[in-house]
Structures are given as structure tokens and as C-alpha cells.
């Protein structure tokens, strides 16, 4: 499945909750979008590094 980067980042932002671990958020996004958590982590890291 091909998922746009902005869709991954939007879904990641929605999963925010105080005290929630990043790994948990990656898993939630991956499950929601049907992709692997490593891809989510890479996209988030790439986007944060671009700031």
C-alpha cells in the first residue's frame, strides 16, 4: 500500500497524548494505515530533521 507522507504525519499528530511513548504512537499509526512501524518512524524522523 502506498501512503502519502502527509497522511502518515497527520495520523501521527492525531495519536498524541501526554506521556505516550513514540514507539506506541508509531505502532498505532502503522496499524491504522496498514504499513510497518519502521516506515512511520523514518517518515517522522525525516520530517523533524527538515525543520
Residues 36, 49: Cα–Cα separation, whole Å: 21
Burial (CB count <10 Å: 0-12, 13-18, 19+), residue 8: buried
Q: What is the pLDDT of residue 2?
A: 84
Q: What is the pLDDT of residue 9?
A: 97
The domain in which residue 25 lies consists of 5-49
Q: What is the pLDDT of residue 24?
A: 97
Report the number of distinct structural domains present in the chain.
1
Q: What is the pLDDT of residue 49?
A: 86
Give tens-digit pLDDT for 1-51: 689 999 999 999 999 999 999 999 999 999 999 999 999 999 999 998 865
Amino acid at each position: 500500500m502506498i501512503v502519502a507522507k502527509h497522511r502518515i504525519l497527520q495520523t501521527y499528530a492525531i495519536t498524541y497524548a501526554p506521556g505516550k511513548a513514540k514507539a506506541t504512537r508509531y505502532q498505532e499509526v502503522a496499524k491504522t494505515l496498514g504499513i510497518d512501524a519502521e516506515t512511520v518512524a523514518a517518515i517522522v524522523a525525516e520530517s523533524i530533521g527538515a525543520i
